Amino acid sequence: MTHTETIATPRSGAPLPSQTHLQRLEAESIHIMREVAAECRRPVMLYSIGKDSSVMLHLARKAFFPGNLPFPLLHVDTTWKFREMIAFRDETARRDGLELIVHTNEAGLRDGINPFDHGSALYTEVMKTQALKQALDAHGFDAAFGGARRDEEKSRAKERVVSVRSQHRWDPKRQRPELWRLYNARTTAGETVRIFPLSNWTELDVWLYIHLERIPVVPLYFAKPRPVVRRAGGWIMVDDDRMRLDAGERFELRKVRFRTLGCYPLSAGIESDAETLPALIREMLTIRTSERQGRLIDHDQPSSMEQKKRDGYF
Amino acid sequence: MREGADASAAEVERFVREYSAKPLVRLVICGSVDDGKSTLIGRLLHESKALLDDQRAALEADSRALGTRGGDLDFALVTDGLTAEREQGITIDVAYRHFTTAARAFILADAPGHEQYTRNMVTGASTADLAVVLVDARKGVLTQTRRHTYLLSLLGVRRVVLAVNKMDLVAYSREAFQRIETDYREFCAKLDVADVTCVPIAAVHGDNVVARSAAMPWYSGQAMLACLDAAPTGADLRAQPFRLPVQRIIRPNQDFRGVAGMIAGGAVCVGDEVTVMPSARQSRVAAIFVGDRPVGGASAGQSVTLTLADELDVGRGDVLADPGAPPATADQFQATVVWMQDRPLLPGRTYLMKLGTQTAMATVAPLKYKVNVNTLEHVAARQLDLNEIGVCDLELSRPVVFEPYSVSRELGGFILIDRLTNDTVGAGLLHFALRRSQNVRWQRFDVDKRARAALKGQKPCVVWFTGLSGAGKSTIANLVEMRLHALGCHTYVLDGDNVRHGLNKDLGFTEADRVENIRRVAELSRLLVDAGLIVLVAFISPFRAERRMARELVEPGEFFEVFVDAPLQVAEARDPKGLYKKARAGELKNFTGIDSPYERPEQPELHIDTMTAAPVQAAELILERLRTAGVIPPG
């Protein structure tokens, strides 16, 4: 991206190059982050360790360069994330000198809530949704950046960049109209806002940007032989000895990678040979399924994502 | 193997280069479900391969369960996202979707078409470079087609592709298409729509959507996707004079002070002179960063951080500009306002206005007219309801840097925010500054409020009595004034009924008139405080927003809100003027407590419960409060 460096103003009469769509998306995301940082009392960035979080963090560092981020990062740790994710998280925070808050729902942990015994719906409610509410309340955050995109899922296509939550709940009828580049992140007592700076990015945009900007991501996105079991049409990785096998299930070594990362018992991998970023992009161009299919929690009831959002899931 | 991997990597690099270089175009599609809009969008996503296998599988399942096409793929179901909408079979909000063609990456805003969704249409159009207007070939140009086109021209979307859909249902008739095209072009000639392309399609079958259709050999133009790829996307903002609305100052240490923002117009190079508006001080650009990368120059649409050669006082809300053509500042404007919430826009009420990175308080002057969005007629109006559009003057609490909306969306488009709920309640377009804003200046006089108050030996203030009719406001105000008078204080009582005999005799009791009623009384109170008086105001004043406005007109500590609290049934039983009886009989409209709301004060200086405190005791409580505040000497 060096060709923009030689442009001149119309005052000198020289021609100007146009912005490409990735440059326009980058500029928009930076603008959104700067608006929120200027107008909100105490923002936080929800850092989920995935590729979207990596891009969001990279954009935030650009937005406030050469200063530090004017907000901390928050990771809601269910204790069931892939081990490689936690290692990547800690390495990123150390390398970039970030203020990282890690929160776990201790009550849920005490009650032994887990994805095997309690089902994905209850487990997600307790260890993710409730945990997030606890952390936001405990620190008094009034705005939380998230890496969600509108292309991920139907109910997200109508999500605002600035999404108002009353008592953490999302009411589709109370969302504020967003015109031009004017965002309204003002809150009254009991309200918080979620901010989605990547709203207009697609999955392909995210990967191309990672490629062009050389942004580090968790190695789980790339194919490698991993111990897995076949479950609900996907490959579930056996990341530690807490993994339980159903009758008739057995693990095997398969070359798989993950398109989305979350809790390992709920994130299905796909068989793949894409060991590198170019190979991954090449595979994406031929792949014909959407990334959320790898998330088992989206399929547990009809219109399940919309319901989760109403309850306060990110 | 090695060679194969290299070739494949080279292929990916080529793809990345081509794909990432595609310009981003924002498109708004206007039409209703009846016109086949959802079907067209589903078709566009499907044909441009934006619809993936699992989404297609879900669509197949949905089509069997919910579809209206007898089990065939019902593309309309792709776009109906929320459960409530799917059950009702309508789309109620703007949805954003992506698709990519050979030439461009599109973000499509899908705006519902029904009349009550003007709000959504305007929202979708506000960011659009280009629009598709959909009509049903059997019905032709309808009222809603005109409404959509008017809204597009209002929001400055000047390139339109007219898609004449359902050509299969008019036997692919050339005459039918040409009649609609002629009608539409005639209508557009009256509006500011620069460029119209008309395409006959049948979205259900895909005719002329992606490829030219054999069913319409008489059509010599391009298929719809090719039109979208070829359409010009509007004026180049980079050709305008330089404008940078400042978002924030980045100051990591003493040596670096960066001015951060997105360039709204024009371009800037290192070494350029810039003017900081509104202070009009000048400096030179020392460095430009796009993210963490230093660059020689940058232009409209880029998020940048600039450093200046001189230490100037620059902050959020300022605008850096070309010194040869700086933008103007003003505090009074004529504007078009689109109202976006259930409670009406009331002239006289104060809202927060956000314009670029500036925020100010804006008071709406009486409406000049509202626009009938179907006929474009101007209609007299006292208020604006949800989805209505009107033209009015705005008075701001301070000057702002602006440009007319027709020149700049960034410095001419604004939103209005309710100060109590913080909801975005309206959007507007600035047209021009009012001359009086530049010609009327505040004249200073040497004898001021302090001098006048000192002569009277008192501290002026407003004691604002609010409560239901019959609560006892005037009775208590009368007692308080008698006590103050006896103490040698200079006072004046403004009473709701009395003021309506003179100053406000032109006002009725609608919500809009009530707001204006209070605005005038609040301004009058401010003048009387300026004259050095203790002002007692006894008005029902049912709305929090106006009481807050009255409070903010005087200095902190000068306003005492007294809530004269009587339960409705008690006030109604007292009914000293027989008004409740009339209101219950339907002879009196908009009566507070009966068919018009009373918003209780949340934090009054004094809350008087008239069930336990008699008027004499209430007056004593108020005098005590005024003593504590130092308004009158200790007892």
B438-459 pLDDT tens trace? 555 556 678 888 889 888 888 9
User: Contact A278/B9, CB-based, under 8 Å?
Assistant: yes
Structural domain contains residue B442: no
pLDDT of residue B390: 94
- With a CB cutoff of 8 Å and minimum separation 6, the contacts of B469 are B540, B571, B577, B579, B580, B591, B592, B593
Domain-embedded: residue A25: yes
The nearest alpha carbon in chain A to B57 belongs to A289
User: Is the residue at A194 inside a domain?
Assistant: yes
Q: H or E segment at B261?
A: strand B256-262
- Here the tokens at position A298 are 């989206």
B605 and B541 together in one domain: yes
In a domain? residue B635 = no
Both tokens of residue B537?
């105001």
How far is the C-alpha of B280 from the C-alpha of B257, rounded, in Å?
19
Q: Would an 8 Å CB–CB cutoff place A100 in contact with chain B?
A: no
Local structure of residue B481 (DSSP, 8 states): H
Q: Is residue B347 pLDDT above 50, yes or no?
A: yes
- Which pLDDT does position A306 carry in this prediction? 57
Quick one: pLDDT at residue A5? Answer: 36
Closest-CA distance, A270 to chain B, in angstroms, reads 14
> What mean pLDDT comes out for the span A265-275?
88
Give the nearest partner residue to B299 out of A16, A157, A293, using CB atoms.
A16
Q: Is residue B396 part of a domain?
A: yes
Residue A5 is assigned to a structural domain of this protein: no
Judge whether A10 lies within some domain: no
Q: B-chain residues within 8 Å CB-CB of A174?
A: 423
A14 pLDDT above the threshold of 50: no
Residue B59 lies in a domain: yes
Q: What is the pLDDT of residue B586?
A: 85
Check whether A308 has a pLDDT greater than 80: no
Whether A7 is in a domain gets the answer: no
Q: Closest by alpha carbon to A22, among A179, A198, A182?
A: A198
Report for A164-178, B12-26, B46-60, B522-536: range of highest mean pLDDT? B522-536
Taking Cα atoms as reference points, which of B93, B498, B295, B412 lies closest to residue A182?
B412
Q: In sequence order, which residues have a C-beta less than 8 Å from that of residue B363 and are 6 or more positions away?
A: B348, B349, B350, B351, B394, B395, B396, B519
> Quick one: A40 and A155 in the same domain?
yes
Residues B371 and B421 in one domain: yes
Query: A165-211 pLDDT, tens per residue?
Result: 887 777 777 788 999 999 999 998 888 999 999 999 988 899 999 99
How far is residue B523's CA from residue B525's CA, in Å, rounded to a whole number? Answer: 5
Residue B28: pLDDT over 60: yes
| Burial label, B297 (beta-carbon count in 10 A; 0-12, 13-18, 19+) | buried
**Claim to verify: residue A197 and residue A249 sit in the same structural domain:** no
What is each CA distance from A176 to A158, B96, B342, B422, in whole angstroms? 11, 15, 13, 10
Regarding whether B169 and B271 lie in a shared domain, the answer is no
pLDDT at A90: 95
HSE-CB at A210 with a 13 A cutoff on CA atoms is: 24
Task: Among B339-353, B401-415, B488-502, name the most confident range.
Answer: B401-415
Whole domain around residue A248: which residue ranges?
213-305
Residues of A in contact with B427 (CB under 8 A): 177, 179
Higher pLDDT residue, A173 or B79? A173
Q: Is A83 on the interface with B (CB under 8 A)?
A: no
Distance from CA of B98 to the nearest CA of A (A): 7
Mean pLDDT of chain B, nearest integer:
87
Based on the fold, state whether residues B310 and B337 are members of the same structural domain.
Answer: no
| CATH number of the CATH domain containing A60 | 3.40.50.620
Residues B88 and B209 in one domain: yes
Same domain? For A229 and A167 the reply is no
Interface contact A189, partner B, CB < 8 A = no
* A34/B105 Cβ within 8 A: no
The nearest alpha carbon in chain A to B237 belongs to A18
Is A122 in the same domain as A34?
yes
Q: Are A54 and A165 contained in the same domain?
A: yes
Residue with tokens 């200086």: B605
Which of A158, A290, A302 lies at the smallest CB-CB distance from B55? A290
pLDDT 10s digits, A129-164: 899 999 999 999 999 999 999 888 766 777 889 999
Same domain membership, residue A185 and residue A224? no
Question: How far, in Å, are B84, B235, B381, B581 from residue B69 at the CA level?
Answer: 21, 42, 45, 59
Q: Which two tokens stand for residue A224?
A: 């490698």
Q: Is the pLDDT of residue A71 over 60?
A: yes
Q: Is the pLDDT of residue B131 over 60?
A: yes
Assign residue B308 the CATH number of its domain: 2.40.30.10
Q: Has residue A250 been placed in a domain? A: yes
Over residues B196-221, mean pLDDT: 92
Task: Give yes or no: residues A156 and A230 share one domain.
Answer: no
Query: Looking at the structure, do residues A107 and A250 belong to the same domain, yes or no?
Result: no
Domain count, chain A: 2
- Scanning the structure block, which residue is given the tokens 């940048």? B304
Residue B59 pLDDT class (50, 70, 90 cuts): low
Q: Is cis: bond before A227, omega within 30 of 0?
A: no
Report the pLDDT value the prediction gives residue B64, as an integer from 0 to 100: 64
* Pair (B615, B483) in one structural domain: yes
Q: Is B415 inside a domain boundary?
A: yes
Mean pLDDT of A300-307: 53
Asked if residue B204 and residue B64 are part of one domain, the reply reads yes
Tell me what percent of the residues of chain A surpass a pLDDT of 90. 46
Contacts of A177 in chain B (CB under 8 A): 119-120, 122-123, 340, 415, 424, 427
- The residue out of B378, B400, B435 marking a domain boundary is B435
- DSSP characters for B360-381? EEEEEEEEEEEE-TTT--EE--
Six-digit token string for B563: 């809530």
- Looking at B500-614, list the stretches that DSSP marks H as alpha helix, in order from N- to C-terminal side: 511-530, 544-553, 568-574, 579-584
Name the domain boundary from B321, B345, B374. B321
Asked if residue A314 is part of any domain, the answer here is: no
pLDDT of residue B82: 45
Question: Which of B32, B38, B213, B541 is flagged as catalytic?
Answer: B541
Shared domain check, A272 and A241: yes
Q: Is the peptide bond before B278 cis (omega within 30 degrees of 0)?
A: yes
What average pLDDT does this structure show over B313-330? Answer: 94
- What would the mean pLDDT of B65-89 be, rounded to a whole number? 55
Shared-domain flag, residues B357 and B464: no
Interface touch A181/B262, C-beta < 8 Å: yes
Tell me, yes or no, if A175 comes closer than 8 A to chain B by beta carbon.
yes
| pLDDT tier, B560 (very low <50, low <70, confident <90, very high otherwise) | very high
**Residue whose entry in the numeric block shows the structure tokens 């991993």:** A226
A273 touches chain B (CB under 8 A): no
- Min distance B409 CA to chain A CA atoms (Å): 7
- Is residue B151, in this structure, part of any structural domain at all? yes
- B4 domain residue, yes or no: no
- Give me the torsion for CA of B495, B501, B502, B508, rounded to 10°: 90
Instruction: Indicate if A91 and A237 belong to the same structural domain.
Output: no
pLDDT at B91 over 50: no
Give the pLDDT confidence score for residue B402 in this predicted structure.
95
* B222 has a pLDDT exceeding 90: yes
Residues of B whose CB is below 8 A from A290: 52, 54-55
B245 and B362 housed in the same domain: no
What percent of chain B has a predicted confidence (pLDDT) above 90?
Answer: 50
The CATH number of residue B538's host domain is 3.40.50.300
* H helix intervals, B565-614: 568-574, 579-584
What letter does residue B559 receive in the DSSP assignment?
E
Residues B134/B36, Cβ–Cβ less than 8 Å? yes
Domain contains B37: yes
A42 and A188 housed in the same domain: yes
- Rounded Cα distance, B572 and B470, in Å: 7
- Say if residue B221 is in the same domain as residue B190: yes
Neighbours of A18 (CB within 10 A): 15
Q: What is the pLDDT, as a whole number, of residue A302?
A: 46
Instruction: For residues B345 and B338, give the distance between their C-alpha atoms in angstroms, rounded to a whole number.
Output: 10
A221 shares a domain with A122: no
Nearest-by-CA chain B residue for A189? B421
pLDDT tens profile B265-275: 999 999 999 99
Q: Is B541 a catalytic residue?
A: yes
- Split into its structural domains, chain B has a count of 4
Q: Measured between CA atoms, how close is B618 to chain A, in angstroms?
A: 32
A308–chain B nearest CA distance, Å:
12
**Which of B69 and B358 is assigned the larger pLDDT?**
B358
> What sign results for the dihedral spanned by CA atoms B282, B284, B289, B290?
positive
The CA dihedral of B584, B585, B588, B594, to the nearest 10 degrees, is: 10
Final residue of a domain: which of B380, B407, B435? B435
A285 contacts in B (CB within 8 Å)?
Answer: 15
Cβ-based neighbour number of residue B488 at 10 Å: 11
Query: Do B403 and B374 share a structural domain?
Result: yes
Specify if A312 maps to a domain.
no
Has residue A223 got a pLDDT over 50? yes
Residues of A in contact with B290 (CB under 8 A): 4
User: Do B139 and B105 share a domain, yes or no?
Assistant: yes
| Structural domain for B376, as ranges | 328-435
Instruction: Report the 3 state secondary structure along B28-96.
Output: EEECCHHHCHHHHHHHHHHHCCCCCHHHHHHHHHHHHHHCCCCCCCCCHHHHCCCHHHHHHCCCCCCEE
